[in-house]
Amino acid sequence: MYKSFPRITLVTPSLNAEKTIERTLKSIEEQHYPNLQVICVDGLSTDSTVEIIERYRHVVNHLICEKDKNVADALNKAFKLAEGNIYCYLNADDALTSGALACIAQVFLDNPGIDVLTGGCRRVFADGSECITQPPENYLESLSMRNGIEQPSTFWRAGIHRRLGELDVSYQLAFDWEWWNRLYASGARFMAIPDILSVYYFSDDNLTSKAGLRVINEMYRITKTYGPFRGRIADIYRFLFKVFDLNGYYDQPFHKLPLIKRIGFGGTLWLLCKIFGKQTITSYNWNWASKQVRGLVWYK
């Protein structure tokens, strides 16, 4: 079926992930991909995570067990051992869908000009609800303002990784979004496909679900660095966050707001759209973190 099987390096970082990591490793095992390098990096778990990984040593080529600064640091250690032509990483609470690696391998083979490939994702939330996400049509145009790329469904070539260097360890949470922006800013050629490549599980206590103000500060940095109008749009977003979002203006459709709020909020948005453009202002996407800060269910 395939002209060849490009070598894929898949990295999984972990820390006290005994409840989920077997699901992750099993999804990798069930790929039955014939040219796969799997590297696990554990930050000295105190539960049975490492024991579970050891049971999958027929799948895992390398296991690093040592303290790290954060997830980005753990990934950087692993990618130094990477032998693949294509890189990706899968967190210890997520999973690949059946045939995902074979699918992306074929797309890379059929499209030698692309550097980064991203696809659809099935999100599963703590209350059991689910949704399917796809990269929006304008995901590249708005990439510096909102992250429309699902991390576990994204793969990139080794060559561009080596050219751009390591993931930025100064980011605790949004290092993947910074990486997509750095790739794009460097001229990397992206391609999006509709195939559902991964399942992204959100528990009440994983990093994304507890991000809150920490991720707001990191999102501000990214938009400030890569965003339009020399990064000034980051300051506009911070204004919208503090004045409107933290006060619930983004929690419901605009037409359901009280009249006095519609006047003030609508007038502000109209003016900002006139100055910066509608797409720039409507790309604001900090509401999920605002809900976390306010103790609300962030994914609804």
DSSP annotation string for 46-64: SSSHHHHHHHTTTT-SEEE
Sign of CA dihedral 14, 20, 24, 29: positive
pLDDT at 209 over 60: no
Q: What angle do CA 247, 252, 256 make, to 5 degrees?
A: 105
Write down the mean pLDDT value for the chain. 95
DSSP 182-209: HHHHTTPPEEEEEEEEEEEE--SSSTGG
Q: How far apart are CA 283 and CA 293, in angstroms?
A: 20
Q: How wide is the angle at C-alpha 271 spanned by C-alphas 270 and 274, nearest 5°? A: 90
* pLDDT bracket for residue 1 (50, 70, 90): very low
Say yes or no to pLDDT of 161 above 60: yes
* pLDDT over threshold 70, residue 138: yes
pLDDT value of position 210: 56
**Domains of the chain, start order:** 8-208 (3.90.550.10), 212-293 (no CATH)
Q: In which band, very low, low, confident or very high, does the pLDDT at 2 lie, cut at 50, 70 and 90? A: very low
The yes-or-no verdict on residue 168 having pLDDT over 50 is: yes
Q: What is the pLDDT of residues 18-39, one digit of tens each?
A: 999 999 999 999 999 999 999 9
Query: Residue 30 has which token pair?
Result: 């069930």
CB 198, CB 101: distance < 8 Å: no
Determine the pLDDT at residue 207: 59
Residues 6+ apart with CB under 8 A from 245: 286, 287, 290
State the virtual CA torsion across 159, 168, 208, 230 in degrees, nearest 10: -100
Contact yes or no for 160/188 (Cβ under 8 A): yes
**Rounded CA gap, 206 and 151, in Å?**
15
Is 0.85 surpassed by the pTM of this model?
yes
Mean pLDDT calculated for residue range 233-256: 97
Q: Calculate mean pLDDT across residues 108-119.
A: 98
- With cut-offs at 50, 70 and 90, classify the pLDDT of residue 193: very high
Query: Is 208's pLDDT higher than 80?
Result: no
At 7 the pLDDT is 98
Token pair listed for 66 = 């040592």
